[in-house]
């Protein structure tokens, strides 16, 4: 399963036939393994890794740290879920340490993201404070290096 | 003006340059060539090893080491052999840390072979054995292995080449370029032939960690074979450390003591920083080996399947990082195939006959490349074969 997961993590578009060959299994076995991974909630989806900076050079992504007062019944859950429901929000994570919730947001420009933080995050009653960090450059995303391919310094041919 | 033809050694002047030179030159001058031609890992040396080298440099530990290598490294090497192949060597006098497996091969052949000696060389194989034997005045005697035997050496093939001048057998498994391995039962047959003779074995096990079915077996581990075997191994392939230039030669002290004299005069000691880093490799990098092997293994399965689907017969190699498909069905010679492929589709592979005449009809394809690189290359080779078949090849 680990090898299958690693292959899918590096390229989710490999066909079952290709996966089967590489893992020394039958296509049916691979299909069953994937179905189990999905059913068990281990694989929760398949997405494209988009380099937003190439797609839209003006777009900005921010990581926002939130200090939050937990609610008496639901703790952090309800607040996290309501933040997650915004379309601009890419991820919401509860963290240990100096702050509680880490949110990542992408917008078409800095002003838009700043406004989102001020109007939609800072305004939540339970949010005590926010710290917004704008992303400058990504080197690796989801385990995949996204910098331009490093040059192969090996020669073309060697015995 | 000096007449160089009069001053150079004829033995060197007559030495043939490597058979891949021509293709290398062609590939070099074309734009956009993707290569499947290298014989070194695409992985970087594990970070802990690189960090140790940086530490060593920061501390300024840059002097020579003992001729045979750092005592701690030899101890780790002895532990490694005991662990992996079940053969015990005394780290004080049976192990030499060499400049790559290459130097170990050179030391071994030069310490053993004199004028008129015959050296049996399993082929197809790595290119360095014959020239060194010839330089020593020895006679290289190829033993041609066959695709139908999955390029294993058989006892019969071996027996048919032995004469009373046979001094040494070069046994290079896991094999470059075929990817063949020798299983225990195959080695036992070979050992049976050699046991009552004075023939020594140079066992080039540089790819031992890249064995995909079961554990690598060394001929040195079979009864009575330790005393007649020189084991060559190294860091290049297992730990992705080609540029560090570090190998290990292990043999009974009667042999290593002679090899060490040569090493001492030609080399002094192997690179010091590399030696310190190699201690870390042997102590801490077993997991890295497994990870790299698993990755190679998936690529191997992918390529074997892809070539067979393209109609180029390809047996499933069990070692190293090469596949060796047969290209006879195209009607082309190995050289023509490689030349056309690189000109038309800009894919560089190595003609099989660069590794001995019996490699004719095959090409060597390395999978020390990322899967996406391999997929692109396979796509181009597919187009190439298609165009060859319907005569539209430009
Ligand atoms: C079969 C074989 N032996 C030995 C070597 C030498 O490797 P190194 O000198 O880097 O240890 C190679 C390198 O390609 C090889 O393929």
> For B19-38, what is each residue's pLDDT tens digit?
788 788 888 899 999 999 99
Distance from CA of A20 to the nearest CA of B (A): 9
For residue B311, the model assigns a pLDDT of 96
Which residues contact residue B89 at a Cβ distance below 8 angstroms, ignoring those fewer than 6 apart?
B77, B78, B81, B82, B95, B250, B251
CA B102 / ligand 1 centre spacing (Å): 6
Closest CB to B23 among A7, A24, A157 = A157
pLDDT above 90 covers a percentage of chain B that reads 93
* Separation CA B24–CA B332 (nearest Å): 19
Shortest Cα–Cα distance, A61 to chain B (Å):
29
Q: Token pair 């195209």 is at which residue?
A: B330
Q: Which of B19, B23, B29, B38 to mutate to test the interface with A (most CBs of A within 10 A)?
A: B38
The closest of B219, B223, B240, B279 to B97, measured between CA atoms, is B279
pLDDT, position A159:
83
The full set of domain ranges for chain B reads 4-45+287-390, 47-284
Q: Is any Cβ of chain A less than 8 angstroms from the Cβ of B305?
A: yes
**Per-residue pLDDT reduced to its tens digit, B308-353:** 999 999 999 999 999 999 999 999 999 999 999 999 999 999 999 9
- For residue range A17-67, what is the model confidence (pLDDT) as tens digits? 999 999 999 999 999 999 999 999 999 999 888 887 788 888 999 999 999
Q: What is residue B179's predicted lDDT score, i.e. its pLDDT? A: 98
For residue range B140-165, list pLDDT tens digits in order: 999 999 999 999 999 999 999 999 99
Q: What is the pLDDT of residues A105-115, one digit of tens each?
A: 999 999 999 99
- The secondary element (H helix, E strand) that includes residue B336 is helix B334-345
Atom of ligand 1 at shortest range from CA of A159: 14
Residue B392 per-residue DSSP state: -
Ligand 1 pocket residue status of B172, Cβ below 6 Å: yes
Within an 8 Å CB–CB cutoff, is residue B30 touching chain A? no
Distance CA B358, CA A131 (A): 69
Is A12 an 8 Å CB contact of chain B? no
B372 touches A: beta carbon within 8 Å: yes
Contact predicate B314/B262, CB 8 Å:
no
A21 touches chain B (CB under 8 A): yes
What is the rounded distance in angstroms from the CA atom of residue B382 to the CA atom of residue B364?
A: 16
**Sheet containing B322-323: which strands, arranged edge to edge?**
B322-323, B363-366, B350-351
Q: How high is the pLDDT of residue B306?
A: 97
Q: What is the pLDDT of residue A153?
A: 86
B112: exposed, middle or buried (Cβ count in 10 Å: 0-12, 13-18, 19+): buried
d(CA B250, CA B232): 7
| pLDDT score recorded for residue A140 | 85
pLDDT for B57 beyond 90: yes
Q: Of all helices (H) and strands (E), which one includes residue A66?
A: strand A60-68
B301 touches chain A (CB under 8 A): yes
CATH fold group of domain B4-45+287-390? 3.90.1150
Establish whether residue B353 lines the binding site of ligand 1, counting it when its CB lies within 6 angstroms of any ligand atom.
no
CA of B206 to the centre of ligand 1 (A): 6
Among B123, B104, B100, B122, residue whose Cα is nearest residue B112: B104
Q: What tens digit of pLDDT does each residue of B193-245 get?
A: 999 899 999 999 999 999 999 999 999 999 999 999 999 999 999 999 999 99
- Candidates B175, B170, B126; CA nearest to B150 is B175
Average pLDDT score over residue span B358-382: 96
Interval between CA B218 and ligand 1 midpoint (Å): 17
Tally of residues, chain B: 394
Q: Where are the beta strands (DSSP E) in B172-319?
A: 200-204, 229-234, 247-250
As to burial, measured by CB atoms within 10 angstroms (0-12 exposed, 13-18 middle, 19+ buried), residue B256 is buried
Band (A148; pLDDT cuts 50, 70, 90): low
Taking an 8 Å cut-off on Cβ atoms, the answer to whether A158 and B371 are in contact is no
Nearest to B288 by CA among B280, A76, B337: B280
CATH annotation of A52-136? 3.30.70.920
Answer whether A153 touches B (CB < 8 Å): no
| Spans of all domains in chain A | 2-39, 52-136
Q: How confident is the model at residue A158 (pLDDT cuts 50, 70, 90)?
A: confident
Q: A113 vs chain B: nearest CA distance in angstroms?
A: 36
* B47-284 CATH, one of 3.40.50.2020, 2.30.110.10, 3.40.640.10, 3.40.50.300: 3.40.640.10
Q: Rounded to the nearest whole angstrom, what is the distance from the C-alpha of residue B300 to the centroid of ligand 1?
A: 20
**Phi/psi at B193 (nearest 5 deg)?**
-75, -35
Q: How confident is the model at residue A149 (pLDDT cuts 50, 70, 90)?
A: low
Alpha-carbon distance of B192 to B202, in angstroms, equals: 16
Inter-residue contact B225 to B191 (CB < 8 Å): yes
Q: Smallest CA–CA separation between A29 and chain B, in Å?
A: 16
CA–CA separation, B216 vs B206, rounded Å? 11
pLDDT average, residue stretch B72-95: 98
Q: How far apart are CA B161 and CA B158, in angstroms?
A: 6
SS3 assignment for B112-180: HCCCCCEEEEEECCCCCHHHHHHHCCCEEEEEECCHHHCCCCCHHHHHHHCCCCEEEEEECCCCCCCCC
Residue B26's pLDDT is 86
Query: Do the bridges between strand B229-234 and strand B200-204 make them parallel or antiparallel, or are there none, so unpaired?
Result: parallel
Contact A16, A50 (CB under 8 A): no
Atom of ligand 1 minimally distant from the CA of A158 = 14
pLDDT band at A142 (very low <50, low <70, confident <90, very high): confident
**Does residue B41 line the site of ligand 1, with CB under 6 A?**
no
Q: Residues B122-127: what's their mean pLDDT?
A: 97
* Nearest ligand 1 atom, CA B40: 14
Q: Do A18 and B302 touch (CB under 8 A)?
A: yes
Inter-chain contact B38–A158, Cβ cutoff 8 Å? yes
B324 and chain A in contact, CB less than 8 A: no
Q: Which residues of A touch B35 (CB under 8 A)?
A: 152, 156-157
Smallest CA-to-CA distance from B39 within B370, B372, B376, B365 is with B365
Q: Does residue B126 have its Cβ closer than 6 Å to ligand 1?
A: yes
How many angstroms separate the first and last alpha carbons of chain A? 36
Average pLDDT along chain B: 96
- Specify the DSSP class assigned to residue B220: G
Q: Which residue, chain included where needed, has tokens 């990542």? A: A104
Tell me the best of B101, B235, B245 to mutate to test the pocket of ligand 1, counting ligand atoms within 8 Å of each CB and taking the most.
B101
Q: Which chain A residues touch B348 with a CB distance below 8 Å?
A: 156-157
Please list every residue in chain A whose beta carbon sits closer than 8 Å to the beta carbon of residue B20. Answer: 157-159
Residue among B39, B40, B294 minimizing CB distance to A3: B294
Which of B123, B132, B130 minimizes the C-alpha distance to B152?
B123
């Amino acid at each position: 399963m680990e090898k299958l997961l690693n292959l899918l993590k590096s390229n989710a578009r490999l066909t079952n036939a290709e996966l089967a060959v590489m893992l020394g299994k039958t296509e049916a076995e691979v299909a069953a393994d994937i179905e189990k991974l999905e059913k068990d909630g281990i694989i929760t989806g398949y997405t494209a890794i988009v380099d937003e900076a190439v797609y839209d050079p003006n777009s900005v992504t921010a990581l926002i740290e939130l200090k939050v007062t937990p609610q008496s019944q639901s703790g952090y859950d309800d607040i996290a879920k309501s933040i997650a429901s915004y379309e601009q929000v890419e991820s919401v994570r509860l963290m240990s340490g100096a702050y509680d919730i880490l949110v990542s947001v992408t917008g078409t420009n800095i002003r838009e993201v700043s406004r989102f933080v001020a109007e939609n995050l800072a305004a939540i009653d339970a949010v005590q404070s926010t710290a917004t960090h704008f992303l400058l450059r990504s080197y690796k995303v989801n385990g995949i290096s996204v910098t331009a391919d490093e040059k192969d310094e090996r020669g073309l041919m060697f015995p | 003006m000096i007449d160089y033809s009069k001053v150079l050694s004829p033995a060197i002047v007559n030495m043939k340059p490597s058979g891949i030179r021509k293709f290398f030159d062609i590939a070099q001058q074309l734009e956009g060539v993707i290569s499947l031609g290298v014989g070194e890992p695409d992985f970087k040396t594990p970070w802990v090893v690189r960090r140790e080298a940086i530490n060593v440099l920061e501390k300024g530990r840059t002097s020579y080491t003992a001729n045979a290598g750092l005592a701690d490294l030899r101890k780790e090497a002895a532990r490694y052999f005991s662990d992996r192949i079940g053969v015990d060597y005394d780290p004080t006098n049976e192990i030499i840390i060499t400049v790559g497996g290459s130097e170990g091969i050179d030391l071994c052949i030069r310490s053993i072979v004199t004028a008129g000696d015959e050296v049996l060389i399993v082929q197809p194989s790595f290119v360095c054995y014959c020239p060194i034997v010839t330089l020593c005045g020895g006679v290289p005697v190829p033993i041609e292995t066959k695709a139908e035997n999955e390029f294993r050496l058989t006892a019969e093939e071996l027996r048919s080449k032995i004469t009373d001048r046979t001094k040494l057998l070069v046994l290079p498994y896991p094999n470059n370029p075929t990817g063949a391995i020798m299983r225990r039962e195959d080695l036992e047959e070979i050992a049976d032939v050699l046991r009552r003779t004075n023939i020594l074995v140079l066992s080039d096990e540089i790819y031992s960690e890249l064995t995909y079915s079961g554990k690598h077996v060394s001929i040195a581990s079979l009864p009575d074979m330790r005393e007649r075997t020189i084991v060559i191994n190294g860091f290049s392939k297992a730990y992705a450390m080609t540029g560090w230039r570090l190998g290990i030669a292990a043999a009974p002290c009667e042999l290593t003591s002679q090899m060490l004299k040569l090493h001492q005069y030609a080399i002094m000691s192997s690179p010091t920083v590399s030696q310190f880093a190699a201690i870390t490799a042997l102590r801490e990098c077993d997991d890295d080996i497994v990870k790299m092997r698993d990755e190679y293994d998936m690529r191997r399965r992918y390529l074997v399947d892809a070539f067979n689907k393209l109609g180029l017969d390809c047996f499933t190699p069990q070692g190293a990082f090469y596949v060796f498909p047969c290209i006879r069905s195209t009607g082309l010679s190995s050289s023509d195939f490689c030349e056309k492929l690189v000109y038309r589709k800009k894919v560089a592979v190595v003609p099989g006959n660069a590794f001995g005449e019996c490699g004719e009809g095959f090409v060597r394809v390395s999978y020390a490349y990322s899967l996406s690189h391999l997929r692109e290359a396979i796509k181009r080779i597919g187009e190439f074969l298609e165009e060859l078949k319907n005569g539209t090849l430009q």
